Amino acid sequence: MNRREALRVFVACIAASAWPAFAQDTSNDEAKAPVRRFYDALLDVMKRAKALGFKGRYDTLAPVISRSFDLAAMTRIAVGPKWTSIPAEQQKELFDAFSRMTIATYASRFDGYSGEKFEIDPSVESRAGGSVVHTRIVQTNGEPVALNYLVRKSGDAFRIVDVYLSGTISELATRRAEFASILDSGGPQALIASLRSQAERLTQPAKQ
């Protein structure tokens, strides 16, 4: 799958929509900071994709994604209610495997640059569960695709805890349905193996 096709899969056939306006508040810059940091790193690896190769893209994105995303919370949310019944050692393995799969996904999909732009709306939407940062990726044909990020305060900084495709489709909700099926059929170890396998498949281009 080439980069353009991967981008289309990533945005799940999102159509351009009217750009919403929300009241500005003093926490906007803090809430947008992890998204801006992530986009800056993503654009950088896209522009240097061929020189970096998969491993270089992975190594460049890994610390930025770990800082910008609350991967521990995302793992717990994606696993769902069964999380509390999973032994601590397997929880750690799930976190490690989920983190590696997430980083490998971005390193694999964004493997080139042809003039795409990342835009962040100046306003931030407040919700009970956090703040939503509205963004769009403007493709080379000028068509914008919407991606929204749910961010929450974690420690002394905001971090991303979910990505909404088409403004409403929660990536973690989709993951939870997938993970629940694996957990029901094979338990935590089966999910760990699945996540590791997904990450490994994404690294294959680097070995060719």
Q: Within a domain: residue 130? A: no
Helices (H) and strands (E) in the chain, counts: 6, 5
First to last CA, the chain: 15
Residue 158 and residue 151 in contact, taking contact as beta carbons nearer than 8 Å: yes
Q: Within a domain: residue 70? A: yes
Give 144's strand partners. Answer: 138
Residue 168 has a pLDDT of 77
Q: Measured in whole angstroms, how far is the alpha carbon of residue 2 from the centre of its chain?
A: 19
Q: Within a domain: residue 129? A: no
Domain holding 110, by residue range, is 26-115+170-207
* Residue listed under structure tokens 């835009």: 119
pLDDT band at 135 (very low <50, low <70, confident <90, very high): very high
Residue 3 has a pLDDT of 53
Residue 24 has a pLDDT of 42
Q: Within a domain: residue 142? A: no
Q: Within a domain: residue 9? A: no
Q: Within a domain: residue 138? A: no
pLDDT digits (tens, 9 = 90+) for 152-178: 998 889 999 999 987 678 999 999 999
- What is the percentage of the chain residues whose pLDDT exceeds 90? 74
Residue 17 has a pLDDT of 33
> How many separate domains does the chain show?
1
Residue 130 and residue 74 in contact, taking contact as beta carbons nearer than 8 Å: no
- Angstrom CA distances, 189 to 98, 195, 197, stand at 13, 10, 12
pLDDT digits (tens, 9 = 90+) for 36-66: 999 999 999 999 999 999 999 999 999 999 9
Q: Within a domain: residue 93? A: yes
Q: Within a domain: residue 184? A: yes
The alpha helices in 48-163, defined as continuous H runs, are 49-68, 71-79, 88-109
Residue 105 token pair: 């996904």
Residue 16 has a pLDDT of 31
Q: Is the pTM of this model over 0.75?
A: yes
pLDDT digits (tens, 9 = 90+) for 2-20: 455 445 444 433 333 333 3
pLDDT band at 204 (very low <50, low <70, confident <90, very high): confident
Q: Measured in whole angstroms, how far is the alpha carbon of residue 56 from the centre of its chain?
A: 18
Q: What angle do CA 129, 187, 74 make, to 5 degrees?
A: 20
Of the candidates 82, 71, 97, 76, the one whose C-alpha atom is nearest the C-alpha of residue 194 is 97
If DSSP codes are grouped into helix, strand and coil, which group holds residue 169?
A: strand
